[in-house]
Amino acid sequence: MDKAPRSGNPQPATVKPKPRRRRTAAARNGNDPGKPPRKQPRRNRPGGFQRTVLLTGIEILGLSIAIVCAIILLLGYSAGQFSGTSFFGHLLPFTAGVLALILAVSVFLVGWWKLRKWLRLHSEWLTPALSIALAVLISWLVTHDQFSLAYGNFRTLVGGKEEAGRVTIAHQVYAAYRRHDSAQLQKMVNRSQEYRQAIEDAARSFDIDAHLLHGIAATESSFIPRDSSDGGRGLFQITRVPETVIAQARRRLNVEKIMLDNPRHNAFVAAATFKHYLAEMKDDLFLGLLAYNIGPANGGLRFIMQQYGATDFTTIQPYLQTLPRDYPIRVLAYSLAFRLWHREGRLLAYEEGNNAIRIQRIGIPGLHAGL
């Protein structure tokens, strides 16, 4: 058989193409059984968005607490250092301090943003943890005496004339508390324990600070219930009160008749009376206490104020020549003593050690919430 002649350029053998392997949906999603699963991006992981929102919220909360407390501390400290009316000696340095504070906060926020980006490369938990640590540190500083002083200066700075007047009266209360004989004051506190539950129930029923009611009872009777020559009866020396007050006390006590010789009834009538006069004086504590003491005599305090055009406790002072202008101070000084006793378990001597700052931090009932 003849063979075909060989050519110089032989034809290559035909190669069949390999069929393409179709990618399944699982492979397209990165879950090919033949390959290890790909790590999903953090933002696409299940629950990743909720965790990010939570951690960011914690971070913002911690930073907010730290920044707010730091601003109060710095402004209060500056207000205490530069208080006065001299432009170059007081006003200008304080203004410069405020500008420096704004600049410092801006620099802090920029620095935090850069630090935040670096920390998140290592762990998403580091930034919220650091912000909470800052908040805890600032909160620890709040418990120190210097912060109390700075906070008081800050209140005066923001509150203006109203806060300045409140501070002036508050220091009159502290002075009255300091003048009390500690032994006699302790004896009166001991006598009050017999009536404590009745007073606390009355205060709770009429939404009044119980220490204020204790202060009124201490001023009126020294916790020795009796009938006095001017008509006062019982623990709170109740005299004439509006009929609506008696009705309120009777309804809260759930009784048909009020017996003023009963200390519990007496306390409820006193609480209702004080609440009545406090509302009449538009929740002004000092005017409310003064109105409680004056009662309906001479038309009551509201009539006296209208007669002379007085608008507050300060402007009514010149017209109280024969009336007890120091009554609110005495009530609040006793109220302070009862708050100290209930919170500290003892009466603090104002002049000893750091007691003055401690007492001011605890605050006067009705005037300060207390820290």
Q: Please report whether residue 266 resides in a domain.
A: yes
Same domain flag for 181 and 316: yes
Q: Please report whether residue 24 resides in a domain.
A: no
Same domain flag for 134 and 192: no
Same domain flag for 239 and 138: no
Task: State the pLDDT confidence band at 92, using cuts at 50, 70 and 90.
Answer: confident
Same domain flag for 134 and 173: no
Q: What is the pLDDT of residue 193?
A: 94
Helix residue ranges per DSSP H, 38-144: 48-82, 92-120, 126-142
What range does the domain containing 97 cover?
48-142
Is the pLDDT at 11 greater than 80, yes or no? no
Q: Considering 126, 142, 158, which residue would you say is the last residue of a domain?
A: 142
Q: Please report whether residue 20 resides in a domain.
A: no
Same domain flag for 211 and 335: yes
Q: Please report whether residue 19 resides in a domain.
A: no
Task: State the pLDDT confidence band at 168, using cuts at 50, 70 and 90.
Answer: confident
Same domain flag for 133 and 210: no
Mean pLDDT of 129-145: 79
Same domain flag for 116 and 218: no
Helices (H) and strands (E) in the chain, counts: 14, 2
CATH code of 214's domain = 1.10.530.10
Same domain flag for 115 and 172: no
Same domain flag for 205 and 285: yes
pTM of the full structure: 0.63
Same domain flag for 135 and 185: no
Q: Which residues pair with 350 in a beta bridge?
A: none
Q: How many CB atoms lie within 10 A of CB 303?
A: 13
Q: Please report whether residue 42 resides in a domain.
A: no
Same domain flag for 242 and 330: yes
Q: Please report whether residue 160 resides in a domain.
A: no
Residue-wise pLDDT for 209-236, tens only, equals 999 999 999 999 999 998 888 788 999 9
Q: What is the pLDDT of residue 371?
A: 41
Same domain flag for 180 and 115: no
As for how many domains the chain has, the answer is: 2
Q: Please report whether residue 14 resides in a domain.
A: no
Say which residue the tokens 């009449």 belong to: 280
Using alpha carbons, select from 195, 221, 184 the residue that is nearest to residue 331. Answer: 221
Q: Please report whether residue 219 resides in a domain.
A: yes
Question: Under 8 Å CB-to-CB from 253, ≥6 apart: which residues?
Answer: 264, 265, 268
DSSP annotation of 87: I
Separation of alpha carbons 141 and 144, rounded Å: 6
